Amino acid sequence: MAGLHKDKRTGIYTVQFYDADRSPKRKQVSTGTRDFRTARRLHRRWEAAYAEGRYDPWTDPPPEATEARLVRTVTTPTLAEARDAFLLSRSHLASNTRLNYERVTRWYVEHAGGDRPIATVNSDSVTTWLNTRDVRPVSKANYLRHLRAFVRFCVERGWAASDVTDDVGLERVPRQFPKALRPDQVEAVAAYAERHCRDGEERSAAWAAQFVRLGAETAMRRNGLHLRWDHVDLERGHLTVACTDAFTSKSGAERRIPLSSRAASVLDDLGGGRSSPSGLVLVAGRGRGVHPGTCSKTVKRFAVAAGVPDLTPHVLRHSSVTWLIERGVPVPVVQRFAGHADVATTMLYCSVADDVAGDRIRSALDGPG
């Protein structure tokens, strides 16, 4: 029912589930450990939970009960044990997100000592560790944010008394607001890419124009390149950001995105649901998928040539979300559309759209009383 596999690159064991009726058919869940015996115990426990209907690896994080197996003394686990349990709880997230948590927590545990009880961690220890990192203030703030998730995980389980990261002082980092372009700037890049490829200069990049238009209409991340036709429903007017063998969303969850008339038109132009050999919506030469790195470089090249050098795949996402805020769509609705795990992320876009919001407020206040 489920197999146990060792990642050749990291040495970490994963449990692979299979169901021919699910998408993807195979779902891998990291055990967060390189120890075979621990991984084998988790494998058996998860397999039993899955068979009994208590655990769905396609949608759920690993069963909470497994944390007790990783922590020998639940009341006073060591840093290393607590880290193992934390990483296990994050195993359903996208690979890059998991790697960031693994990297930052590993650095801190190596600094503080893996055998140190988690209950003895304090703000001085965290501050000292951050000061050993020879990086810019913005990177230190990013490290602290990832470590804070680990500490709060421990607080929630009663392993630590309080979130000591709240008392860590860092050099103030200027607030970075998401970049946003105007719709006409986005279309200028798409139109340039379309002309460039139609004239035969770079036919293998014919996907670029439609990627730009679709990205601006759906707020999909660059990994939307993995979008498959079986996740597109033009009749009902939506597409699904689904976790597949090749792609896991940042949050590890699936979400449905409504299609605007422009997005539906783009998809119709791309084939209207007629399957490509690979099943992918966006394909390069010979029907193959587009590598994310190639996507960024190609889109950037067209953007510079079109006179809109700030446009990147992620700026398309920022622009899409900003436009929704500017048009008065409620923040919780925008959060769901964008797939933001934290509403605070969505609220950043409200600052970008302050001028528009100010105009609406003034108009409402000046209206009939």
Q: Please indicate, yes or no, if residue 225 is contained in any of the structural domains.
A: yes
Q: Check whether residue 200 and residue 340 sit in a common domain.
A: yes
Q: Check whether residue 221 and residue 160 sit in a common domain.
A: no
- Shortest CA distance to 30 belongs to which of 4, 52, 53? 4
Tell me what pLDDT residue 185 has. Answer: 95
Tell me what pLDDT residue 317 has. Answer: 92
Residues 77, 34, 4, 251, CA torsion sign: positive
Instruction: Give the range among 80-89, 191-200, 203-212, 233-242 with minimum mean pLDDT.
Output: 191-200
Instruction: Give the range among 149-153, 170-174, 296-300 with minimum mean pLDDT.
Output: 170-174
Is a pLDDT exceeding 70 seen at residue 210?
Answer: yes
Q: Which of 167, 201, 231 lies at the terminal end of a domain, its last residue?
A: 167
Q: Where are the beta strands (DSSP E) in the chain?
A: 2-6, 13-18, 26-30, 232-233, 238-241, 255-258
Show the CA angle centred on residue 283, arms to residues 282 and 288, nearest 5°. 145
Q: Check whether residue 221 and residue 163 sit in a common domain.
A: no
What is the domain-level CATH number for residue 201?
1.10.443.10
Distance of alpha carbon 170 from the chain centroid: 26
Tell me what pLDDT residue 222 has. Answer: 83
- Shortest CA distance to 351 belongs to which of 175, 204, 216? 175
Q: Check whether residue 152 and residue 189 sit in a common domain.
A: no
Most confident option among 130-134, 346-350, 365-369: 130-134
Total domain count, the chain: 2
Element of type H or E holding 195? helix 183-198
What does the alpha-carbon distance between residue 280 and residue 275 come to, in Å, rounded to a whole number? 8
For tokens 């621990």, what's the residue? Answer: 38
Q: Check whether residue 190 and residue 157 sit in a common domain.
A: no
Q: Check whether residue 144 and residue 194 sit in a common domain.
A: no
What does the alpha-carbon distance between residue 93 and residue 249 come to, in Å, rounded to a whole number? 7
Contacts of 158-164 with C-beta under 8 Å, sequence gap 24+, read: 158/75, 159/71, 159/74, 159/75, 159/76, 159/77, 159/82, 159/118, 159/119, 160/118, 160/119, 160/121, 161/119, 164/121, 164/122, 164/123, 164/125, 164/126
- Shortest CA distance to 314 belongs to which of 241, 212, 226? 212
Instruction: Give the range among 62-66, 100-104, 136-140, 148-152 with minimum mean pLDDT.
Output: 62-66
Domain span including residue 75: 2-167
Residue 194, judged by CB atoms within 10 A of its CB (0-12, 13-18, 19+), counts as: middle
Neighbours of 44 (CB within 10 A): 13
Calculate the alpha carbon distances from 124 to 109, 121, 156, 288, 293 in Å: 14, 8, 21, 52, 40
More confident residue, 94 or 64: 94
Q: Check whether residue 150 and residue 234 sit in a common domain.
A: no
Q: What percent of the chain has pLDDT over 70?
A: 83
Distance of alpha carbon 331 from the chain centroid: 19
Q: Check whether residue 205 and residue 144 sit in a common domain.
A: no
- Shortest CA distance to 115 belongs to which of 150, 77, 148? 77
Q: Which of 167, 202, 219 lies at the terminal end of a domain, its last residue?
A: 167
| Residue range 171-205, pLDDT digits in tens | 776 666 667 899 999 999 999 999 888 665 556 78
Neighbours of 39 (CB within 10 A): 21
What does the alpha-carbon distance between residue 111 and residue 132 come to, in Å, rounded to a whole number? 9
b/e map of 78-114 (b: 16 or more CB within 10 Å)?
Answer: bbbbbbbbbbbbbbbbbeebbebbbebbebbbeebee
Please state the pTM of the whole predicted model: 0.60
Q: Check whether residue 163 and residue 191 sit in a common domain.
A: no
